[in-house]
Amino acid sequence: MSKQKSASHEPFVRMSKRDGLPLWKSLGVRLIGLTLALIVCAVIIYALTKLNPLRVYAAMVKGAFGTNKRVWVTIRDIMMLLCIAVGLAPAFKMRFWNIGAEGQILVGGLAAAACMIYLGKSMPTIALLVVMFIFSMLAGGVWGTIPAIFKAKWNANETLFTLMMNYIAIQLTSFFVAKWENPFGSNTVGIINQMTKAGWFPTVFGQMYTLNVIIVMILAVLMYLYLRYSKQGYEIAVVGESENTARYAAINVRSVIIRTMAISGAICGIAGFIAVAGASHTISTSTAGGRGFTAIIVAWLAQFNTFIMVGISALLVFLQKGAIEIASQFDLNDFVSEMITGIILFFILGSEFFINYKIRFRGGKKEAGK
């Protein structure tokens, strides 16, 4: 027993799990986390660039909300990200690692673009939008269902499968971009139906993007109710927790997997429809633009609660917009803005730790580290 230590040698810090924190407290922790993140960013910005951090922050706000148009573009992008996250929520709640949202968005967008190009002249806009909506939804749904079928029937790994489906969708998009090329030789589709605006979202209440907001918010509310109160939502939760339990409860695991992925893919397809008809009015391989992956963070951070997703989507889009603005205004490169995004995300994730665990310091009585 040579290594005996004295009793005062208590470990310096210890963690212990805490029981559920009241909502206002956990919100408080997150707010503190955000504030700390901004302070740390300020210090780093000043140290690196000698710029006044407050001016930088002001520029970020300006980038996102500086003009009326910017406000609406920000809102448009928030809705896009939210829509994808809403689509991913049921899949991830079922612990089906759907990293194929990119592909599902693209095929949804392709379907929408095809309708605009081929049916644009023959239909009134409202009917055309309905047809586009349905075809995008179907395309995304099929794209999501294929890996689900393989998962259900042969237990194929869905992560790799959905990822590979992304590449197929990208190749497919390249093919159609070449086919629909306009003007010839540009290697882009260009703005579809620029003259007639057939298949474009109409302006509602004088705003271009009102319809985006309406569609996505309806989806978000429906998904919230679906996951929380429906029998199918309950089945998704059980399958996600344990397939054995699901079988025990007489749940048909295969059909739940396929059904859920059809829904997940369909909503991502709708996101593609919104991206084409409600935002860019064109299609390219970058229509999804990595948002299919960012949305995974949104869905998980919100614990599949679609209302919390609104806030997280807003934060991420705001950071991105602000980052672009400071990059151009202060002649900084993109890395500074990405650094800020990284630091803020780090602190948000860090506050999750403090919500779940309590820290105690040596000698200190309880309750340290609220």
Residue 121, interface with another protein (CB under 8 A)?
no
Cβ proximity of 64 and 72 under 8 Å: no
Residue 154, interface with another protein (CB under 8 A)?
no
3-state secondary structure at position 8: coil
Residue 6, interface with another protein (CB under 8 A)?
yes
Residue among 211, 238, 266, 315 that touches another protein (CB under 8 A)? 238
Residue among 122, 185, 206, 231 that touches another protein (CB under 8 A)? 231
Task: Give 97's DSSP letter.
Answer: -
CB of 83 or CB of 246, closer to another protein: 246
Residue 229, interface with another protein (CB under 8 A)?
yes
Tokens of 264: 């997940």
User: What does the chain come to in residues?
Assistant: 370
Residue among 232, 300, 308, 368 that touches another protein (CB under 8 A)? 232
- What residues contact 263, with CB distance under 8 A and at least 6 apart? 87, 90, 141
Residue 247, interface with another protein (CB under 8 A)?
yes
Q: C-beta of 167: minimal distance to another protein in Å?
A: 33
CB of 52 or CB of 242, closer to another protein: 242
Q: C-beta of 260: minimal distance to another protein in Å?
A: 14
Taking CB atoms within 8 Å and a gap of at least 24, the contacts of 203-209 are 207/72, 208/72, 209/72, 209/73, 209/75, 209/76, 209/79, 209/278, 209/279
* Part in contact with another protein (CB under 8 A); list of ranges 162-170, 198-206, 238-246, 275-283: 238-246
CA–CA gap between residue 42 and residue 103 (Å, rounded) = 38
Residue 90, interface with another protein (CB under 8 A)?
no
CA–CA gap between residue 363 and residue 11 (Å, rounded) = 9
N-term to C-term CA, the chain: 38
Residue 9, interface with another protein (CB under 8 A)?
yes
* Part in contact with another protein (CB under 8 A); list of ranges 17-25, 74-82, 163-171, 273-281: 17-25
Tokens of 310: 């609104």
Binding interface with another protein (CB under 8 A): 1, 3-11, 14, 16-19, 229-235, 237-238, 241-242, 244-245, 247-252, 366
